Amino acid sequence: MLTRFSTLFLALSPCLLSSYALADSPVNTVIAIEDQLFSKHAELKNAQQTRKEQQATISQYQNELTQIQQQGKSLTEKFQAAKAQLETDYQRMIDDPSVDLAATQATYQDIWKNLKQNQNEQLNSEQKVEEAQQLLATQDAQISAIRKDIAQYDENKIRARVERLKTELMPEQQVTVSFTNRCQSDMTLAQCDTQTRDLALQKAVKTFQSLLIEQTTESKLIQANVHKAALNIHVLRHKASNSGFYDGERYRTILDVSLEARPNESASCSLLGVDKQYCFEPGYISGQQFQNEQEIAWVTLNVRSNQYNDQVFVDGVSYGSTPVEIMLPIGQHHLVIKKEGYRTFEQNLALNSDRSFRAKLKQKANELKAGDKFADLIGSNIKAPQLVAIVPGEYMIGENASNQYFLDHAFGIGATPVTVSQFDHFVRQTDYQTDAEMKNTCTAMENGEVTAVAKSYWRNPGFKQSSNSPVVCVSRNDANAYAKWLSAQTGFQYRLPSEDEWEIAARAGSQADYWWGNHFVTGDANTGWSSSPWANSSTAPVDAFKANPLGIYDTVGNVWQWTNSAQGIAKGGAWNFSPAKAVAHERLYLSSASTANYVGFRVVRVIN
């Protein structure tokens, strides 16, 4: 029996030694290791099944042994009884030689024979159980060895995944990005170009990071963990293939940018969600191995605040509302967070690694609300034009409302264009003469042609007007003179609106062509061919049509309205222009001294 067991043990010994052989195996690819793991798991399943069968065999052998032992106990009792009977009969024979012992002896010998046979069977059964248990122990050792192999393969697989990701993050790549920027009006061309390139580089860094992650084998897992590690993206070189203004206001640059990621040693482990020990050689336990962050060129700033719908600016550039993740080069940056009705938060940040920042915005007292109406006094009892409050915030303007614009200040805008009555009061107080009066002409549209009409001016524009009609035949110079006079009379600063301010007020939050929708509604405004009583004939009273949701009248049609644009831009359309010219983004270009019987103005009052 022992010889058979030894032979079986030697046959299984390669399985017991396999875990030691693994230590000398080269690091395999992830796919090869997965194949090995598949085989090992199949081997483990078979070994566990074999062990289960062996346990059943042992149970069977133990049941057989129990039966033999019970039979042996019964035979032993019978043997003792037969032996006692034989001794009794033997004593009787001594006293009586005629007593026959043959039957008693035969019974004794038969029972003894059966008992010896039972003892041999019991010994054989015990040896079978012992051998089966030894085989089970060998199978347990085999299963333990397989599990050890699997654990080693699992570790090898993790290391192989880490090495694969490190390789996938290494390549240099070139991306081409286009960025359009609406530069501030006080910027020089060089400043505008620099800011636009910086923003384009930020876009390139984000684009490169997205491409880099998408190209990894485990991209979904990497994307989920990307906030846990710094990729340390470096801009190696960049070149502008095209840059410049393309519509007079927006500056666009197209950059070809070469970038590469230089993550630290532990980054791949963080991205894969595994212990950082797998990013280093086994046994390497330097205290600095997880903190070493070298050569960071671009880092991530995560900004949060205690408010929703706020606005985040970094170095003067808007990044939308919190929470927001911004890619920035290392160094000093100026963070500003704004929200309507809250105090502006400002702080300088020194960035040299990924950082999360939370700001606490504090509410202002006496919050100004959009649409609030008010009017200043001229003198003791005469009111200046009624104003409607416009508050800071994010607005969509331009064609198709495609431009995001952040208004950083509040202002009041005239609820209506300045009326004949209001302008008349100014003239009577100052003896002011308009440009049209000085030139003795005001232009008009006659048979589709711009025509200078002699002896026409704001009191005689070529059609009848009431005191509540919008004043026309006034130049931008005249409008500025009126605003300057209002400032002196009220003690507050009045001026013409900027183009963006006018459009924000006119849209009243709408992103459609007109404040009510994308289609012109016949009879809802005074434009040419609009079916209004004044269409193609004259101006209408300033409150003849419905106001927009902010309470502002004549933002569609009636008269073109001057803005403070140096390009001489008027907005809004007019009584003798088609409805298509009255959409919110349309412009009319005029010289600052031009006068026309279809051009008026409304004022803006600065709110500090």
- How many whole angstroms from its chain centre is CA 470? 49
Q: What is the DSSP letter of 315?
A: T
Amino acid at 105: Q
- How far is residue 240's CA from residue 259's CA, in Å, rounded to a whole number? 15
Residue 76, Cβ density class (10 Å: 0-12 exposed, 13-18 middle, ≥19 buried): middle
Using an 8 Å Cβ cutoff, are 368 and 347 in contact?
A: no
Q: What local confidence, expressed as pLDDT, does residue 292 receive?
A: 41
Q: What local confidence, expressed as pLDDT, does residue 6 receive?
A: 40
Tell me: cis bond preceding 497? Omega within 30 of 0 counts.
no
The alpha carbon dihedral of 168, 173, 178, 184 has a sign of: positive
Instruction: Mention every residue, 6+ apart, whose C-beta is less than 8 A from residue 551.
Output: 371, 373, 388, 415
Q: What local confidence, expressed as pLDDT, does residue 249 receive?
A: 75
Q: Which three-class secondary structure state does DSSP give residue 579? A: helix
Q: What local confidence, expressed as pLDDT, does residue 499 receive?
A: 96
Amino acid at 319: Y
Cβ count within 10 A of residue 140: 13
| Structural domains present in the chain | 30-167 (1.10.287), 172-280+296-359 (no CATH), 372-606 (3.90.1580.10)
Can you list the residues of the chain whose pLDDT is less than 70? 1-28, 282-297, 365-366, 380
Instruction: Please report where in the chains the tokens 């067991």 appear, as a residue.
Output: 5
Query: Phi/psi of residue 234, each to 5°?
Result: -110, 135
Looking only at the bridges linking them, the beta strands covering 355-359 and 298-305 are: parallel
Query: Phi/psi of residue 250, each to 5°?
Result: -95, 135
Using an 8 Å Cβ cutoff, are 472 and 481 in contact?
A: no
Q: What local confidence, expressed as pLDDT, does residue 297 receive?
A: 61
Burial 217-233 (b: 16+ CB within 10 A, else e): ebeebbeebbeebbbbb
DSSP letters, 78-120, are: HHHHHHHHHHHHHHHHHH-TT---HHHHHHHHHHHHHHHHHHH
Q: What angle do CA 57, 61, 62 make, to 5 degrees?
A: 115
Q: What local confidence, expressed as pLDDT, does residue 366 receive?
A: 65
Return left, alpha or beta for 572; rule: phi > 0 is left, psi -120 to 50 is alpha, else beta.
left
- How far is residue 177's CA from residue 338's CA, in Å, rounded to a whole number? 29
Q: What local confidence, expressed as pLDDT, does residue 489 receive?
A: 92
Q: What local confidence, expressed as pLDDT, does residue 133 receive?
A: 92
pLDDT, one tens digit per residue, over 9-66 is 334 444 433 443 443 333 358 888 888 889 989 999 999 999 999 999 999 999 999 9
- How far is residue 55's CA from residue 195's CA, in Å, rounded to a whole number? 77
Looking only at the bridges linking them, the beta strands covering 393-397 and 403-407 are: antiparallel
Q: Which three-class secondary structure state does DSSP give residue 339? A: coil
- How far is residue 561's CA from residue 478's CA, in Å, rounded to a whole number? 12
The alpha carbon dihedral of 140, 142, 148, 151 has a sign of: negative
Q: What local confidence, expressed as pLDDT, does residue 90 receive?
A: 85
